Amino acid sequence: MKVTYDKYYQTENLFGLPYPELMDFFADQPKTTRVLDLGCGQGRDAIPIARLGFEVTGMDRSQVGIDQMMQVARIENLPLTGITSDIYEIEDLAEYDFILLDSMFHFTKNDRNREVKFIQKIIAKIKDGCHIIFCIQDTGKKVKILNQTVDSNEKLERLADRTFIYTFEDNETGHRSTSDYRMIVVRK
Ligand SMILES: C[S@@+](CC[C@H](N)C(=O)[O-])C[C@H]1O[C@@H](n2cnc3c(N)ncnc32)[C@H](O)[C@@H]1O
């Protein structure tokens, strides 16, 4: 199957460094817990979270991204597992304490229903006490739709909502751009 990101990930560390806000959040959590990074890409988040001592599973349909992530995991002997799969097919979510979804939702007209249903499926399948961490670009109606989706579920408690700026640097072209981002954390 042709996977768009397999081509993009010819550029190493395409998305650059993890957000400090996200790392600060994990630094404060108990390290005896399990993290699932859905759409982990090249491991921009999964690798540093595993370095903190969490047992991390990263899932992505890009084999190239998973291979790059697992190469680092092997060299550093990190508690990190990579799975090449379609995240929308996942059923086993009850074993995790944290579900991370970084830059995974865009809520375009075509994708909105599917994405909202997927979030609802995650909420239904995670155990009580599990956190979901959404990092999402704050443009258009994205945050509004995400908020509506989580706030309409009475099982969720909202723990954090942080704004920050993400700087993207294209090493090949030298192009640099910034975008407003949000990190929203909820707990079931
Ligand atoms: C914008 S990138 C974000 C990667 C990573 N979360 C980060 O922030 O660095 C989106 C990632 O989601 C993956 N992806 C998109 N839809 C997917 C799906 N249905 N199943 C598995 N991976 C998917 C892509 O392959 C890509 O690696």
pLDDT tens series, the chain, 188 aa:
678 999 999 999 999 999 999 999 999 999 999 999 999 999 999 999 999 999 999 999 999 999 999 999 999 999 999 999 999 999 999 999 999 999 999 999 999 999 999 999 999 999 999 999 999 999 999 999 999 999 999 999 999 999 999 998 887 788 888 999 999 999 99
Place of tokens 């806000």: 21
The C-alpha atoms of residue 51 and residue 49 are separated, in whole angstroms, by 5
Q: Which atom of ligand 1 is nearest to the CA of 65?
A: 27
Q: Write down all domains in the chain, each with its CATH number in brackets.
A: 4-187 (3.40.50.150)
Q: Is the pTM higher than 0.85?
A: yes
Tell me the CA–centroid distance for residue 104 and ligand 1, in Å.
Answer: 6
Q: Are strands 131-137 and 98-102 parallel, antiparallel or unpaired?
A: parallel
The C-alpha atoms of residue 69 and residue 65 are separated, in whole angstroms, by 6
What sign has the CA pseudo-torsion 63, 100, 163, 113? positive
The predicted-structure confidence for 101-147, as pLDDT tens digits, reads as follows 999 999 999 999 999 999 999 999 999 999 999 999 999 999 999 99
Tell me the CA–centroid distance for residue 8 and ligand 1, in Å.
Answer: 11
So what's the pLDDT on residue 18? 96
So what's the pLDDT on residue 2? 77
Can you give the length of the chain in residues?
Answer: 188
CA angle 56, 59, 64 (to 5 degrees): 115
Burial code of 59-88, b = ≥16 C-beta within 10 A, e = fewer? bbbbebbbebbbebbeeeebbbbbebeebe
Tell me the CA–centroid distance for residue 68 and ligand 1, in Å.
Answer: 14
Amino acid making up residue 59: M
Q: Which residues contact 72 (CB under 8 A, 6 or more apart)?
A: 43, 47, 78
The C-alpha atoms of residue 85 and residue 132 are separated, in whole angstroms, by 20
Tell me the CA–centroid distance for residue 60 and ligand 1, in Å.
Answer: 6
Q: Which atom of ligand 1 is nearest to the CA of 135?
A: 8
Amino acid making up residue 141: K
Ligand 1 pocket, CB under 6 A: 5, 15, 39-41, 44, 60-62, 65, 86-88, 102-104
Tell me the CA–centroid distance for residue 41 and ligand 1, in Å.
Answer: 5
Residue 93 backbone phi and psi in degrees, to 5: -115, -10
Place of tokens 């990092």: 135
The residue whose CB lies within 8 Å of the most ligand 1 atoms, and thus the one to mutate among 104, 118, 132, 183, is 104
Q: Which atom of ligand 1 is nearest to the CA of 9?
A: 27
